[in-house]
Structure formats: structure tokens, C-alpha cells
Structure 1
Amino acid sequence: MPRIFDFGGREVERSVTVASLRALKGSGRHVAQVTAETADEAAAAEVAGIEMVVCRAANIAKVREGSKKIFVTAALGFADAITAEEVLRTAFSAIVAGADAVITGRGWDTVKMLAAEQIPVMGHLGFVPRKSTWVGGVRAVGKSTGEALELFDRFRRLEDAGAFAVECEVIPAAVMAELNRRTGLVTVSLGSGPDADVIFLFTSDICGEAKRLPRHARAWGNLASLHQQVRDERVKALSGFRADVASGGFPGEGETAKIPDEELTKFRAALDGVEK
């Protein structure tokens, strides 16, 4: 496992680095990326052998509590940092806290600004949910020749801006394969087929937490049923508590503190003396 110094100046081990991710190009090898927002999720990902996670920038410290080794990408939210100064401050705060890269769906100037500081930047192309009004709905992007060519141009512009990687969301697999062969960017496939350098799915989908599974996802677990059991057990327990309060069954002898009889007698006598 590579040893590096992170942006906080700490000597650390990482499952992958920017350099090793770039070396994936043309190798036929893949690494896996999932989401993690808590220490528990990050720890589980590390134990499972996942190499990369992505989380909100504000949760970097929590994620690093769970894993010191996974490559962590911090998502810069649209509303979290708006001006150039805010974006730069948020990005530096994230990488100093332990992130290895940042991801942004902002424009080329933002990518250039971050890349100029040698902050590893991941872009986001294809179907970008928050920008879906531009494509008219929730759908794959690049299904026509014109749209696929426009997407290729965006890949080139993102690479020219200095990004090292790009999240490729819901792009037709055959188009993704052609784009991957023609870009120096590390490609991260979310619903865009197997011909990318990194394969990405949301942890909630993998673990079966979502009510509706996206078409591009697969569940290997069924946490939804466990969450329902927890909810049912919580209601059962609360209902039992309420019923025992109503019936006088709680608190009982075992749940109340006691005072020795002689001390209670003295206490009552003292009270009587105060009240006179």
C-alpha cells in the first residue's frame, strides 16, 4: 500500500493514489468507489476492500475516523461554497482534514482554479441530477450522435481545465467505452457500464436501503428490512412504556431509589420542624 504525505502534512498509507488511478488507463483493471458519510460506513468499506469513497466535504473528519486508508473524495456542494474564495477555502479545508481529492459540478473556471493549486479535481459529466432540467428529465445522456459528440467535447474541456478524473453518470455503455479510450481523465462509471477505470455505486443502493433501486444499481443486501424491524421494535417499546405509565406499572420497585427508614423518619421530622 503506497505511503504518501497528505495535504495536512501527515504521513499516511492510501489504498490508491492519483498516480495509481491514472495508471489504470488501458490496464483492464478497475477499482471500486462507494459513498460514505459516517465513520461506520467508511470502516465497512475499508474492511470490504473498497478503494475509494466520496462524501460531503463537511463529513471528511467523520469518514477519516472510520478509515485512514481509503481514497476519499470530498463533494463541494453547490450552495456550500459559491464564490471563488469560498470554493477554494472549502476545498483546502477538506483536503487538509484528510480528503485526497474534491469533486465539483461547477464550471471550467472553478476546475482551473482548483487545479492551479494542485488540488486533485474530479468533474461530473453525463446525467447530473441537479442540472437535469437541461436534458428534460431523468435519462441517459449521449444517446444521440449530437449529444454524444457534445459530451466528448465536455470531456476534453474538463481535461484541459486540469481535472484528473470525471464521474460519468448514466452515459450509454458503448459511448462510455469510446470516451474512455479517448480521454486521459480517470473515468468513474455510475450507471455508465463497465468500460471505465472506477466503478461507482451508492452505498444505500448496494446495501438495499433505498425504496426504489435505480435501473443502473444492484442490491447485495437488505438493510431496508432491518431498518423496518428497528422502527417496529422502537414503536413496540415506546407503546409498552406508555401502557405501563398509564397502568401504574412503571416505575416499579426495581426502578426507584430508596432511602433507609430511619433517614426518612428524620427527614420527615425535619420537614415538620421547618413548616412550623
Structure 2
Amino acid sequence: MARSRPTVSDLQALKGKRQLSKLRVFSLDEAEAAERAGIDMISVTYELIFDPRFRDAAPTCFAIPGDEQAKMGATTDEILRMAVKLRAASADAMYCSASLQTIRRLRDEHIPVCGHVGLIPAHATWTGGFKAVGKTAESAAFVWKQVKDLEAAGAFAAEIEVVPAEVASAISRRTPLIMISMGAGAGCDAQYLFSEDVLGTNRGRYPRHAKRYRDLATEFDRIQNERIAAFSEYAADIQSGAYPEPRHMVEADAGELRKFEAFLDAEG
């Protein structure tokens, strides 16, 4: 049976029934791979969602663009304007880590919003930097308040990042939001990783919650070395005269060539 693209309502109906999968993808090839692999949700760049080929590559993945504008200091009106354009370009929802006021504004315009709680990279200075949030009763209560605030603002989902699994599970059971775990354990409603971590193309630090399924970085290095070798051989062939060979060239008819040379001689 062919898979159809889920709606927000479809995803909400799955809460507590099965774990959803989510990937951050960066290219059409990765979007197509996610589609063919049966990934439920994908986080995408603005560039990707606006590419007219995107839905041919991933027709049934629930697509959530990130908050690229918010990270650049966009106002609520600017974020709303972009969200409308993203929805028109086939986005299914909008990730937003901006203010609750902004999330309410988006929800008022019927734009589904996925918020963020726990370790929010853009706001990490308020929670002590890039480390777990919710390890004490007080900070776990802070995460719970973040969730309740998102509920009140009208979000339908929230990424919950680097929160103790027991805390995340307890929260997920008590909220209607679809809780998307990034290093917050299996007690949430979905699991979220970046394609670069899954594929092994991340050349920096791997997050603790990441799992590498392939080592494409090594394969890409091999391909790059093959490129360099091929280009080097090409350059050497040019210098030695090995390229071009007769088979790479077009020959003129001998008689026509004599006529042309005579013409050039007459031209002086």
C-alpha cells in the first residue's frame, strides 16, 4: 500500500502508539533517501524546501523547515511572512525557537509550529551552555514549564534536547505535544538525528546521542583522491602530448584543407 504524506492530525493520532523517525537532511539526494527509507519527518533548509524538485524527491515525508531567519534576528512579522512562503512551498510545519509571542502569531495564522525545550542551542547561554538540562528537580521543572508554555502558545510538537531520559519520558506522557527526542531517550514520541551523523560525514564532534550507521567520509575521501589522481594524469598527458590522441580529434578532408591553406596564404 502506497504511503501518503501525514498531516498534523495523523501524527498526533500516533502519539503513544509507535515511535516516529525524524532526520535533518541537507540535499535532494538525502531527502530522496529519507523518502525511500520510510522516514516519517525531515527537517530541511529553506533552500531545499523552495527547490521545485523537492516534493518529487520526498513526496510523503512530513517536512519541517528550520528557523534560519530567527537565528539571524528576524522579527515576528518577518518570521510569519517567511512561514507563509514556506507553507506555500509545501512545508508541513515550521520549527521555531523564537519567542512564545511569535509562536502564538504563527498558530493564529494556522501554521503548525514545532518548538524546542531543554538544551536549545540558540538559547544555551541561559541554561549553562551546551550541556544537559533537567538533571535536577528544579531544572526538570523548568523543562516542564517550557513544554506547558508551548502548549499554551499553540505548538503541536517540540524537540526535547539532551534531557535525562526519565524526565523526558515523564513529560512526554503528560503532554499532548509530540515530543521529538534529541538525546532524550526512547520515552518520547519520535527520535531525531542529523543525516551527517547517521552517514558519518560529520568531520567535527559527534554528539553523545548520535549513532553512526555508515562511514561516508572515508568513501568521500577516496572519491576525492580519485578526482585528484584523474586531474593530475590529465595535466601530465597534456604536458607529454599523450592527450589529445587522434581519436579525440576531428580530421578535415585533405583536399579541403589544402584549399583553406591556400586561402590563408592569399590573405597574407
1:117-196 equivalence runs, <5 A: 117-196=109-188
Tell me the residue number matched to 1:18.
8
- For 1:231 and 1:121, how far apart are their aligned partners in 2? 40
Aligned with 1:242 (options 235, 246, 257): 235
- For 1:178 and 1:67, how far apart are their aligned partners in 2? 33
**CA separation of 1:80 and 1:69: change in aligned 2, threshold 3 A:** farther
Shift of 1:189: 0.5
Q: Determine helix, strand or coil for the equivalent of 2:117.
A: strand
Native 8 Å contact 2:28 2:48 kept in 1: no
- For 1:165 and 1:2, how far apart are their aligned partners in 2? 26
Is it true that 1:44 corresponds to 2:33 in the alignment? yes
Q: Determine helix, strand or coil for the equivalent of 1:219.
A: coil
TM-score of the superposition, structure 2-length normalised?
A: 0.92
**1:47-68 residue CA offsets vs partner (Å, 9 max, x unmatched):** 1111111101231144323111
- For 1:135 and 1:128, how far apart are their aligned partners in 2? 9
In structure 1, give the amino acid aligned to 2:65: A
1:1-276 equivalence runs, <5 A: 13-14=4-5, 16-27=6-17, 29-62=18-51, 63-77=54-68, 78-79=70-71, 82-211=74-203, 212-275=205-268
- For 1:161 and 1:22, how far apart are their aligned partners in 2? 17
In structure 1, give the amino acid aligned to 2:215: N
Aligned residues: 264
Q: Determine helix, strand or coil for the equivalent of 2:158.
A: strand
Q: Which runs of at least 4 in structure 1 moved beyond 4 Å after TM superposition?
A: none
- For 1:169 and 1:257, how far apart are their aligned partners in 2? 63
Shift of 1:226: 1.1
**1:81-132 residue CA offsets vs partner (Å, 9 max, x unmatched):** 7122221111011111111101011010110000001110000111122322
Tell me the residue number matched to 1:9.
none
TM-score of the superposition, structure 1-length normalised?
A: 0.90
In structure 2, give the amino acid aligned to 1:51: D
Shift of 1:2: 9.9
- For 2:128 and 2:185, how far apart are their aligned partners in 1? 22
Stretches of structure 2 lacking an aligned partner (at least 5 in a row): none
- Which moved further from structure 2: 195-204 or 72-81? 72-81
Native 8 Å contact 1:206 1:217 kept in 2: yes
- For 2:163 and 2:2, how far apart are their aligned partners in 1? 32
User: Sequence identity, in percent?
Assistant: 38
